[in-house]
Structures are given as C-alpha cells and as structure tokens.
Amino acid sequence: MLSASAPLVLLLHGGLDNLSGKTGLALLRYRPGPILAVVDPAYAGADLETITGIRRAVPIVASMAEALPLLGARGQGGERAVAVVGLAPSGGILPAEMGVDLLLALEAGLNLASGLHSRLGDDPVLAAACQGPGQWIWDLRQEPPGLTVATALAAGLPCRRVLAVGTDMAVGKMSACLELAAAAQRAGIDGRFVGTGQAGILIAGQGVPLDAVRVDYAAGAVEAAVLAAARGAGPASLLLIEGQGSLCHPGSSATLPLLRGSQPSDLLLVHRAGQGWVRTRPGAAAVAIPPLVEVIATYEAVAALGRPAGAPAPRVRAIALNTAGLDPAAAETALDQCREWTGLVCDDPVRHGGETLLAATAGLHPGTAL
C-alpha cells in the first residue's frame, strides 16, 4: 500500500534516541524513497546523523505544522505525502501527544500509515478528517483475510529461504536481513525481503504483520507471505525472511510460526554483543541467554521438526552480531570471540555490509552475476 517513491514525514515523538523509535529509525536507515522531515519536539533543529548515526540529510522539526512547508517535493507521478507513525512503544498504544499532528496531517491532505495496535482508522475524529479523493489511513497491523493453517508448502519452493532468528527481541533481525538483501542486490542476485513486522512492512511496502494474526493461523500467514514473495523465483533466488521474537524470551510466541510457515532452508542467528540476559519488562523474572552453541542447537532441533519427508533440516549457517555501541576495536574483539565460541562465520552486517554473511548463509558468492 506504501509505494517506494511516496514521500514520507516520520512522526517520532521522543523516539529518535531510543528503541521506542525503532520503526522510524529503520525507515531512515533503509527506505530508499524520499523522507522529507522527522517530527520530534525533543530534537527540533538538531542534526540527524549526530543523534542517530544515520547518514541521511533529513530535517528534524517540532511539529507537523513545521513539517508541512517542507512537503513541496512529491514522489514519482506526484504522489501524495504520507505521515508515518515511527514509534513502536510497549503495547503498541498511540502516545496522546501525537494526536494533534496526526489530525493536522490528514487535514492537510496527507495519507497516514501506522503499525500501532491502536487502529487510527477507528478513531472517529481521524476518520472524519480523511475525506480527500484517494486519501487513506493504513493500519497495517491487521490480520490478512482468507488465512488458513500452514501446510508446509514453502518447503517445495526452488529458492533458498533464509530466516533470521535471535537470542532476544529487538537485536537486529530485520536490519540483518535488509543488509543481506542489499548485498544480494549489489552482487546481481535476486534477493527478496519478506517483512513480518511493522517496520519491515513499511520499508518493503508489503508483508505480514505477524503479531496481529491469531495463533492458529500465524504459520499459515507466514506461509502465504513467503509463497507470494517467491512468485517467479528460481533456484538462484533468495528470500530473506524477517525474524520476530526469540525462543529464549518468555514473552515471545512469534518464532515457531515463522519456522513452520517459511520452512527455511537456512538460518541466520542474530545476537547483540555482550548481552547475557533477555530484555523484559520491569518486575519480570530474570532470564539468561544460554551459550550461543546451545541456542544454535536448539534452533536447529526445533527447525528440523514439522517438515515434509525428505526436506533437509536447516542449519544455522552464520551469526549476525550486533556491535552497536562498541568502538571498532571492541567490535572486532567481540566478533573474534563469537567466531571462536561457535566455529561459524560471524560479522556485523550494519557495520561491515552483508557480503560475508550472504556468502556464508545463503551459499551464494557475492560478485557472481546471475
């Protein structure tokens, strides 16, 4: 629903410098289309790269009213600008202070996209303001229609299917997939990204919002998204499937339907350097992350189940290590330790690019023209 060329305004109230803004930050880092402004009153007038480390020239303003004069640019074909809620707060609830800017955006004729659990289209004030010809509110966190239970059909696809799995939530599974997809594109490989969360869907323009799907149909929803993404793909093609959650996290239920629905041929483990405990809500029980070799063995054992007869069991082929926050020397030390502990190829694709992990994970040699 969101085209690659539509100009965006990102609403990131209070999220530019923390994980609550991960949706907007991901769009800033990975969306190739135009982003005209970021709205965050806490950093109005500041330099985006200084705050986020993302090299992109986008002005930060205090409100939608200040963003509107910047919207003279249009996408290809004169597309309407889209205001995108860039926050992913705990519980997916819309911050109250954002309501004024959402209303102003619609009254100014912008479209509106949101991945929050709060459905903006159900708000009578916002719905009444969305009256322009062709104007829309896209609440992407909705269960797709016509779902069925999974049938393991993805195992029969001719293309490679790499699923990112993690030691915790929010460790960089989407970023790793997008970096490998970019590396595949640079190598002339048919690499396709399958989004399964709000940021991934907004970047790709399509996908499945897994956490909005009833559990009985979750694996089937993943299967449908993978089959759709694989249309026309051949043996040399590569699907990079965005992971969600973690088998290590007591509050996560997303990993199993991803394993069942995508029927991966290969796994990419994603881990944050130095993290020994899963991140849970205040007051929750402390849960340790097992040694990486144990995590790998568990993922491989679970992934080997629920597969058609004769389908090879997927293996963890490489590790994407999130070294954000470490200086270059400390990052290299962490990478060396990870390689020594696991015996696997290990790299930080955000820091170094995805070429090394692409070759190790997908069995495809970067630089090979297909």
**Predicted local confidence at residue 364, as pLDDT:** 55
**Predicted local confidence at residue 92, as pLDDT:** 62
Give the other-Cβ count within 10 Å of 219's Cβ. 27
Task: Kindly state the tokens that stand for 328.
Answer: 């270059």
pLDDT averaged per 10 residues in sequence order, the chain, 370 residues: 90 91 94 95 96 95 96 65 88 78 96 91 96 93 94 97 97 97 95 95 92 96 97 96 97 96 98 96 93 98 97 97 96 98 98 96 53
Phi/psi of residue 171, each to 5°? -105, -5
**Predicted local confidence at residue 155, as pLDDT:** 98
Task: Kindly state the tokens that stand for 277.
Answer: 């405990």
For CA atoms 84, 90, 92, 98, the dihedral sign is negative
**Predicted local confidence at residue 77, as pLDDT:** 53
| Structural domains present in the chain | 8-139 (3.40.50.720), 153-362 (3.40.50.300)
Query: What DSSP letter does each residue of 228-257 carry, written as one string?
Result: HHTTT--TT-EEEEPP-S-TT-TT--SHHH
**Predicted local confidence at residue 50, as pLDDT:** 96
**pTM (2 d.p.):** 0.92
What gap in Å lies between CA 28 and CA 224, rounded to an integer?
28
What gap in Å lies between CA 119 and CA 77, rounded to an integer?
29
What gap in Å lies between CA 170 and CA 160, rounded to an integer?
25
Per-residue burial over 196-216, b if 16 or more Cβ lie within 10 Å, else e, is bbbbbbbbbebbbbbbbbeee
Which long-range contacts does 91-94 make (Cβ < 8 Å, 24+ apart)?
Answer: 91/117, 92/116, 92/117, 92/118, 92/141, 93/117, 93/118, 94/118, 94/120
Give the other-Cβ count within 10 Å of 324's Cβ. 14
What gap in Å lies between CA 42 and CA 25, rounded to an integer?
15
**Predicted local confidence at residue 368, as pLDDT:** 42
